[in-house]
Structure 1
Amino acid sequence: MNGEEVIDVAQLKVGMFIHLDVGWMRHPFPLSSFRVTSEDQLVVIRRLGVKQVRWSPEKSQLEAPEAAKPGDVGAPSAVGEVDPAALAAEQVAQARRAALKAERDLLAICEAQYGEAAEALTSLMGLVLKDPRLAGQQAVQLTRSLLDKMLVSQELNLRVLNEAAGDRAAAHALNVSLVSLLLGRACGLGDDELLALGTGALLHDVGKLDVDSRYRHRSDQFNAHEMQAYQDHVAKGVRMAQQMVLTPDALAVIAQHHEHADATGFPQRLNGERMHALARIVALVNRFDGLCNPAVASKGLTPHEALSLMFAQGRSRFDATLLNAFIRMMGVYPPGSIVQLTDDRFAIVVAVNSSRPLKPRVVVYDPAIPADEALSLNLEENSTLGIRRSLRSADLPRPATFYLRPRARFAYFFHGADAPAGAAAC
């Protein structure tokens, strides 16, 4: 509350930095604290039904920026003339710093959104055994909130975050739900289908709440009894979901998220034709996240390696059309992939737009530039630069590893893109 004031909603103005205390799931804005940038936002805020909100004067921008003063870069000099070469160099440096700040600001927003969603998920999971019906309602509300935020922009970029907020179980559930929703959206699913898809994906492993911690993560060392104890999380999850009063479509996702198109999955050994369409999406995304974020972090694959393995060895396990759509959406080099550019520099992919899968946004290793000022490049805007190959983490030179800091675990979120939509039809 330090430096904050309470104001009537009727007195709000564009430029005020406000704090909504109604909960992340009860409003359509990306964050609960933000600067009001338009009259349309004021209309939405007033429709929330709140009488007052908190605002931070020191973070607000109610006045127009001051005009440039003598001595400012780009302003007329009060004494003598500016050296053109020095001015050009400073302008380049300023542009790079501005681009890096914009990149970091966008990442900070995505991470804050992810953190709020993870907190909401952890809270509702704590209710599953005590009040399953309320937990089910909150899971639907969280999914609806995610969908509302996805609808803000016609096209979305998928971004890898620095760290996964919350515990591994929450991070896995959020990853599977978010990426499943993006894939379902790309495939043209309707609103009701997306709501069931996201809810089922959020709760696909809910049965593990009733499984001994030793058996919650599959191990190649399991004997038959231990493997059965692990596989029982599916049936237990279905029973819990029934108590949560989820829709039949969401129940099907929970019941079939370990089935495979070639009938080698469990517990029912369904083939692709018998699997629910929404379950086919979650089974695919669940496998991808399991490869990138296994229980033993040292066994994790880069996102590019995970996609390559799924395509090369697991095509029979997944719906072929869906797998191709997933690869188009994630990009050939998904966020988090380590790559070498065509000019031999090393880089890490930080964001992908599905309509331009070969031209992601990357952060580049350049020993001449401090790591905290690392160069961020949108390859789509650079016609002469591309990606030569993908690398494993172990193949990255040690200085580049310290500089780029590849993720040990991957967490994803989304943000709007300005380019026209390019959906991957399923």
Structure 2
Amino acid sequence: MTMLMSDDAFISPAQLLIGLHVHLDLPWTQHPFTFSSFKIKSLEQIMTLQSLGLERIRYSPAKSDAQPLALPAEPPPPPPHSPGDDAAYAAKRARIERLLAQQQRAAACEREFLSAARALKAMTQNVFARPEQAREEGLALIKTMADSMLTDADVAINLMKDKIGGEETYHHALNVTLLAMMLAKELKAPPEAIRVMGVGALFHDIGKLELPDSLVRKTEVLSKPERGLYQQHCVYGMDIARKLGLSSEATTIIAQHHEHMDGTGYPKGLQGQTISMLARMVGLVNAYDNLCNPNNPAQALTPHEALSVLYA
């Protein structure tokens, strides 16, 4: 007989996200997990839980690191049938169904984006203590994004302006990753190149872990010494990438994502074709997202204004 703790609650499988401590009220032979009670740590676990076909899942708020996601909006009731105007009725019904489908796609993509932010947070916390685990979690996250959010790119791109779920620190890395993979896909790059670019983009700012948090989050103009230290995050990132065992291509993206074609970039002042093509693409979308989502929101540009700056 299942023991229900006083602070336990039930949620829909659609509300699952990383950080929830769940309990499966099933015999151990009816699910693939080692334990029936555990804290969700990956998107794969969420997908497995949702595949069990349960109408609701028990969780412990006191043992969880996050709050469940909001339930998707209920579909609006269908309009009353009008026998006298079947064509107009059918067109109106089709519009409602399209709108509902768009709302459901947006809600699903938002859940995936928030779960991805939490997965990135967990991965980042493991970079120094468990580098191999952090690398594997990063690779799994790139695969998940390629399989889901990349297929709904038009929906996902609208989430980039909203720092949902209180995970602002990790949204920039996700924005750059998703934009870089979209750009590579649009340019008909092979799947392996898209994957490598995704890994490099996901870890592109990993060197900032070695910088003071006050410097990384500073909203005022940096002094010359602060700017010099800040620019070292590319070098630090390259060292961390090697410890993680990332590919040489992904490591090059991390090292060169602030280099400029005219040689005015950093840390080495590389020019033209000496900069990796993938690093140039990540550098471009990194600059775009920094313009649209700066540390100081008052300085944010619209996407149109950001593109105008980049073209100029």
Question: Scaled by the length of structure 1, what TM-score is found?
Answer: 0.54
Higher strand share: 1
Return the alpha-carbon distance in structure 2 between the equivalents of residues 281 and 247 of structure 1. 17
* Structure with larger Rg: 1
Q: State yes or no: 1:24 paired with 2:43.
A: yes
Q: 1:296 to 1:248 in 2, by over 3 A?
A: same
Q: State yes or no: 1:167 paired with 2:186.
A: no
Give, in angstroms, the shift of residue 304 of structure 1.
1.4
* Identity among equivalent pairs (%): 31
Other-structure match for 2:101:
102
Return the alpha-carbon distance in structure 1 between the equivalents of residues 128 and 270 of structure 2. 29
Retained in 1: the 8 A contact 2:42–2:119? Answer: no
Return the alpha-carbon distance in structure 2 between the equivalents of residues 270 and 259 of structure 1. 6
Other-structure match for 1:291:
291
Q: CA RMSD in A?
A: 3.2
Other-structure match for 2:187:
187
Give, in angstroms, the shift of residue 298 of structure 1.
1.3
Retained in 1: the 8 A contact 2:118–2:167? Answer: no
Return the alpha-carbon distance in structure 2 between the equivalents of residues 304 and 283 of structure 1. 18
Give, in angstroms, the shift of residue 307 of structure 1.
1.1
Q: 1:245 to 1:163 in 2, by over 3 A?
A: same
Retained in 2: the 8 A contact 1:121–1:139? Answer: yes
Other-structure match for 2:67:
none
Superposition pairs of residues 46-85 of structure 1, within 5 angstroms? 53-56=52-55, 73-74=80-81, 84=84
Greater relative contact order structure (CA < 8 Å, 6+ sep):
1
Q: 1:95 to 1:203 in 2, by over 3 A?
A: same
Retained in 2: the 8 A contact 1:218–1:227? Answer: no
Return the alpha-carbon distance in structure 2 between the equivalents of residues 73 and 9 of structure 1. 44
Retained in 2: the 8 A contact 1:23–1:32? Answer: no
Return the alpha-carbon distance in structure 1 between the equivalents of residues 130 and 163 of structure 2. 27
The one-letter code of the counterpart of 2:99 is: L
Return the alpha-carbon distance in structure 2 between the equivalents of residues 22 and 292 of structure 1. 30
Q: 1:25 to 1:185 in 2, by over 3 A?
A: farther
Q: 1:55 to 1:219 in 2, by over 3 A?
A: closer
Other-structure match for 1:367:
none
Return the alpha-carbon distance in structure 1 between the equivalents of residues 144 and 279 of structure 2. 21
Return the alpha-carbon distance in structure 2 between the equivalents of residues 84 and 164 of structure 1. 47
Q: What do residues 221-246 of structure 1 show as CA deviations (whole Å, max 9, x unaligned)?
A: 32221111111111111111111111
Higher helix share: 2
Q: 1:299 to 1:248 in 2, by over 3 A?
A: same
The one-letter code of the counterpart of 1:24 is: L
Superposition pairs of residues 17-416 of structure 1, within 5 angstroms? 23-25=42-44, 53-56=52-55, 73-74=80-81, 84=84, 95-149=94-148, 157-158=154-155, 159-161=157-159, 163-165=162-164, 166-216=166-216, 221-311=221-311, 313=312
Retained in 2: the 8 A contact 1:197–1:250? Answer: yes
Q: State yes or no: 1:2 paired with 2:10.
A: yes
Q: 1:90 to 1:169 in 2, by over 3 A?
A: same
Retained in 2: the 8 A contact 1:200–1:251? Answer: yes
Retained in 1: the 8 A contact 2:252–2:279? Answer: yes
Unmatched tracts of structure 1, length 5 or more? 11-20, 35-44, 46-52, 58-71, 75-81, 314-426
Give, in angstroms, the shift of residue 33 of structure 1.
6.6
Return the alpha-carbon distance in structure 1 between the equivalents of residues 148 and 259 of structure 2. 30
Question: Scaled by the length of structure 2, what TM-score is found?
Answer: 0.72
Unmatched tracts of structure 2, length 5 or more? 1-8, 13-24, 32-39, 57-78
Q: 1:174 to 1:32 in 2, by over 3 A?
A: farther
**Paired residues, what number?**
259
Return the alpha-carbon distance in structure 1 between the equivalents of residues 119 and 41 of structure 2. 13
